[in-house]
Structure 1
Amino acid sequence: MPFITHETKEQNVDLYFKDYGHGQPVVLIHGWPLSHRAWEQQIWAVVEAGYRCIAYDRRGFGHSDEPWDGFDYSTLASDLHSIITKLELKDAILVGFSMGGGEVVRYCTDYGTDNISKVALISSIIPLVAQKPDNPDGVPQKELDNIMKALQNDRVDFLTDFHKNFYNYDQLKDRVSQAQLEYDWTIAAEASPRATIQAAKAWAETDFRSELKNVNVPCLIVHGDADNIVPIETSADQAAKHIENNTYKIIKNAPHGLNVTHKHELNDALLSFIKQDVKELIA
């Protein structure tokens, strides 16, 4: 299987990735608590549109190594930097789903955008999940604490209901199958328990508001207005206000997992953005 080894003073971490197609590289960064397989409906679309598509597993998830530590966003962004560097990617387009939006923004903060053409935030946690006095639409701390307790006490049971909420399953059974829920559960259940909890702390606690100014390339923001996992008011609405050069697409009645339930709408928006000339997006 293809791996890239991210070598640091502390440890070496092997990151599993898939690399298809040719042309301008599009890097897909998956959400929590899944793997690169969550991008199944987007990988083929990107490749058939004439682009090179790289999708990798975050450390602790999928086939990547499962270290005990290193789930803060700067370390995760350094994993992304290692992939971009070792694959010698130029003019890359970064696409982050949910938690993956954090790697995109922290990459812009820690490494700049000289080698990045565009970015996309899909159902993203950016800029802040938690409810604060200055972020009243965020998720209450009690709910976040309950998630952490459930992950500690019975992670695999928690994941069963989580994925139903991920897709608004009761309302969208015509768009997502029971088999998809079971498939996602299998992927999530096989992830490192430690990584699952530590990564959840990262997306629940990290405040990216001061970093939005570092996203200085064209940015696509896509979010569902029925997202029960990451409320649109605390995420995409704020990101669209503070990322200077953005294209904001709200998908009506779409849940968090719109990459499956509204795959055609997402693919159309993503490919339209990818194909558009950077000069036109900046103008």
Structure 2
Amino acid sequence: MAYLDTDDGCRVYYEYHHADKLPVVLIHGWGMSGEYWASAIEALIRAGHGAIAIDHRGCGRSDRDCADMSIAAIARDVAAIVKRCAVPKVVLNGWSLGGAVAVAAAEILGDKVAGIVLTCGASPRYTQAEGFPHGGTAEGVLAIGEAITADRPGFFRALAEGAAAPGVSEALASWVERGFIASGPRASATLADLATLDQRELLASFIFPVLSIGGAKDTIADPAIAGFAANCAQKGELLTMETGHSPHLENAPAYNEALLAFVRRLT
């Protein structure tokens, strides 16, 4: 394990699991941490691929009192960690809000990026706008912070139950709930960025492959967002899994197989 000391005074936790083949940077969803990528890390290592897992500022083992909690700041952290790890090429894999971080980090990293995976990603948009009828509303996103303040345990319990399709185990729901509860009090500022984020032009500018994985039963990110992302990218591909918002947790074997198949095509 290691920490990145950022230019604005934050310490950001990351793990670099070394291996010979093309590494994958694993960027978690809002309120979570790198530990929720454990199954994917295990699969990557067994296949000879490196894995870099990062805890967003405000989450997991990273500092919780950073002044700048924006998606742009997290993307800069990701890019700085990739550069510190001194790898020539990486695949960026972002889950949920982490998908928006991955797209923003790809712009910074340029030709270091071999490809992107959007895992139920909140990119290129999360809310409805002209030419984008998918997702919720900006007002709904901005109201989440107040809802968390009013009833933190109740809100996070409901969110954890909605983070997977109906019928998942109590163990999985409790694990996800623990991640949300552990997030810092400023983490909702990061979520607020999704109210207006628009990465359509940026995503369309990338010349590397993009795998967009959607959950057919996802109630947190409109499944149509995944399809839009695949069509928006020049070399986009859509994979729809019969899961909710957390395919890498709900059906790890199938998810890991798809991830590895995509990464192998890039080498």
* TM-score bucket (shorter structure): over 0.9
Mapping 1:102-251, distance limit 5 Å: 102-109=100-107, 111-168=108-165, 171-172=166-167, 176-195=168-187, 197-233=188-224, 235-251=225-241
Residue deviations 1:13-71 (CA, integer Å, cap 9, x gap): 21111222412221100011110011122110011110111101000100011234222
Which TM-score applies when normalising by structure 1? Answer: 0.88
1:133 Cα deviation from its structure 2 partner: 4.3
Paired with 1:247 and 1:132, the residues of 2 have a C-alpha distance of 23
8 A Cα contact 1:30 1:97, kept in partner = yes
Deviates more, 1:184-193 or 1:143-152: 143-152
1:78 Cα deviation from its structure 2 partner: 0.7
Tell me which amino acid in the other structure corresponds to 1:60.
Answer: G
1:77 Cα deviation from its structure 2 partner: 1.1
1:100 Cα deviation from its structure 2 partner: 0.8
Aligned to 1:25: 23
1:152 Cα deviation from its structure 2 partner: 2.2
Paired with 1:48 and 1:77, the residues of 2 have a C-alpha distance of 28
Tell me which amino acid in the other structure corresponds to 2:126.
Answer: V
1:112 Cα deviation from its structure 2 partner: 4.5
Mapping 1:242-281, distance limit 5 Å: 242-251=232-241, 253-277=242-266
8 A Cα contact 1:108 1:214, kept in partner = no
Paired with 2:66 and 2:112, the residues of 1 have a C-alpha distance of 31
8 A Cα contact 1:228 1:255, kept in partner = yes
Q: Extract unaligned runs of 5+ from structure 1.
A: 279-283
Which TM-score applies when normalising by structure 2? Answer: 0.93
SS of the residue 1:151 aligns to: helix
Residue deviations 1:203-261 (CA, integer Å, cap 9, x gap): 3331111211232211111111111000012x11111111001221111x310011111
Relative distance call for 1:97 and 1:142 in structure 2 (3 A) is same
Which aligned segments of 4 or more residues in structure 1 are displaced greater than 6 angstroms? none
8 A Cα contact 1:71 1:202, kept in partner = no
Q: Extract unaligned runs of 5+ from structure 2.
A: none
8 A Cα contact 2:126 2:135, kept in partner = yes
Aligned residues: 266
Aligned to 2:48: 50
Between the aligned residues of both structures, percent identity stands at 26
